[in-house]
Amino acid sequence: MVLDVRNRTEHTAGNIPGSRQLSGGRVMWHLDELPAEGTIVTYCQSGVRNSVAASALRRAGYDVVELDGSYAGWSAWQQARESVTSK
């Protein structure tokens, strides 16, 4: 699962395709919406909220990986990729 811990407005403005939005401050109240097994990849805009949410999920027993560079890094990578493929 790819989990976007930004708020709904941020997610609507742009997100990693296939990601699920659940605000970082609400993650622990919605554990029933997360997979019991497998890895959860988390991201926010820059990594700060992501680190807090990922840490809390790890303490709750989840296998969590934080997306390096978070959404800003993924977005820059995506734009560079599209620039190369459009040439």
Per-residue pLDDT at 40: 98
Average predicted confidence (pLDDT) for the chain: 93
Would you say residue 87 has pLDDT above 70?
no
Read off the pLDDT of residues 35-68 as tens digits, 9 standing for 90 and up: 989 999 999 998 899 999 999 999 999 999 999 9
For residues 38 and 26, give the distance between their C-alpha atoms in angstroms, rounded to a whole number: 20
The pTM assigned to this predicted structure is 0.89
Sheet of strand 63-66: strand arrangement? 20-21, 2-4, 39-43, 63-66
The pLDDT of residue 7 is 96
Q: Which domains does the chain have, with CATH numbers?
A: 2-85 (3.40.250.10)
